[in-house]
Amino acid sequence: MNKTSKLLALLLSGAMMLGLASCGGGAAESKAPEESKAPVESQAPAESQAPAESQAPEETPAPAAKSAEDIPDSMTSADGKYQVAFITDVGQLKDKSFNQGTFDGVKLFADANGKSYKYYQPANGDQATDDDRYDAMKAAVDGGAEVVVCAGFMQGTALEKAATEFPDTKFIFIDGWSLGLDNEVGVTFKEEQCGYMAGYAVVKEGYTKLGFSGGGGGDNPACCRYGYGYVQGANAAAAEMGADVEINYSWQYGASFSASPELQTMISGWYANGTEVVFAAGGSMFQSITAAAAANDGLVVGVDVDQSSQSDTVITSALKGLSDATVWACGKAYDGTWAEMGGAADLGADTGATGLPVDTWMLENYSVEEYQAQLADIVSGKLVIDNDYSNLEQDWSNVKLNII
């Protein structure tokens, strides 16, 4: 009896908090104490070992044929503790891109290893402060987290504070860097590689008027690397083909990684003036960009995960193996090889962490074989792509770059 009423009270207060939290600023994201509607899936400690055991993430480890879609986003653990925690970046959990890709890794790892998991969204949504992020991390640790996966380089300051304060908890900093603490590891990706491959592929396909719309207002290293790689790839392909390529390059309306009517109008303007393919490198901005593309019969290059299922306008996507890398790093946290990483891991094509989606290949003039040959060159180190994005504004041989 008592238990039921307690649960009810919890549920009601959860509902109230949701309402209150979202009351503030319209689109404000709530911290979401997802206590409601717990999926009654017992966590059945599966005996199957970690899929990507102490080894770099393969193309798809596919733990026991269970896809991340099948695993519920929230679960209730028997003891009320959540061993693997995920702290979201700005943007939503279900952005079908960065946050979701990382969280998929958390879910896959937890599911395969019988761990309990939970996600935390720092308060105040796009306007989250370091304190909000720290609070989310502290809540995660208080909730029994052994491993905390933090997505996004903006969590650095909060993470440093939390990691120092909770030395017994392991922190995985996706898109981050080493903070010099034993319990933290920064996982970065060579985004310039998949950006390069995407830029190369669309120019090889025959498109000469491209666009790049990135998130983070030009301060986000990952997005900058994507963009810089994209331009390099487009330039390389254009040089081979003797073509001239024009690229509109913009960080506008992307600071909060969210969709907006203004962004849609701006991208519509590009398409209306002849732009053929726009690289949407910024979480939920994707929605505005595909909306503009669908209206103008344009095309889009997706980012982070294969986004072709979300819109018919997606021609290819610049992949980074967020989910695989998360599974891999979580595995390291549990199998005693944590220290081997030495605080940082930079994953690229050689570990299968960057690439283009082969399963949903839609390009016609540029074949999978050509792509794989290029990928092999990158893996072997024959083709090295510069990642110093401060060189973006140079004299490109075949690209006219319009920075907007």
Partner 1 sequence: MTFLIQQTLLYAVPLMIVALAGVFAERSGIINLALEGIMIFGAFVGVLFVNLTQTLPVFADAKAAGNWVALQGYEILAMVVAALFGAIFSLLLSFASVNLKADQTIGGTALNLMAPALVLFLIRIIANQNTLQMNGDAASWFMLKNSLFGMKRTEKGNFLWETFVNKSYIATYVCILLFILLSILLYKTRFGLRLRSCGENPQASDSLGINVYKMRYAGTTISGALAGMGGFVYALTTANCASTGDVAGFGFLALAVMIFGNWKPLNIAGASLLFGLFKCIAAAYTSIDINGDGVYLLTEIGVSQHVYRMLPYIITLVVLAFTSKKSRAPKAEGIPYDKGQR
Residues that bind partner 1 (CB under 8 A): 15, 18-20, 22-23, 26-27, 29-30, 32, 36-37, 73-74, 92-94, 248, 252-253, 259-266, 268-270, 272-273, 284, 287-288, 290-291, 293-297, 311-313, 402, 404
Task: Give the residue with the Cβ less far from partner 1, 74 or 360.
Answer: 74
Pairing of strands 344-347, 184-189: parallel
> Nearest approach, Cβ of 129 to partner 1 (angstroms)?
19
Task: Give the residue with the Cβ less far from partner 1, 37 or 400.
Answer: 37
> Nearest approach, Cβ of 296 to partner 1 (angstroms)?
7
- State the DSSP string of 14-53: HHHHHHHHHHTTTTPPP-----SS----------PPPTTT
Task: Give the residue with the Cβ less far from partner 1, 36 or 365.
Answer: 36
Tokens matching residue 58: 């393969």
* Alpha-carbon span 307 to 362, nearest angstrom: 12
Task: Give the residue with the Cβ less far from partner 1, 183 or 290.
Answer: 290
Which runs of consecutive H residues, i.e. helices, occur in 24-143?
Answer: 98-113, 130-142
Tokens matching residue 400: 């006219």
Task: Give the residue with the Cβ less far from partner 1, 58 or 73.
Answer: 73
Rg of the chain taking only CA atoms, in angstroms: 21
CB 332 within 8 A of CB 345: no
> Nearest approach, Cβ of 248 to partner 1 (angstroms)?
8
* Alpha-carbon span 102 to 87, nearest angstrom: 10
CB 181 within 8 A of CB 163: yes
> Nearest approach, Cβ of 307 to partner 1 (angstroms)?
12
> Nearest approach, Cβ of 267 to partner 1 (angstroms)?
9
Task: Give the residue with the Cβ less far from partner 1, 163 or 281.
Answer: 281
> Nearest approach, Cβ of 101 to partner 1 (angstroms)?
14
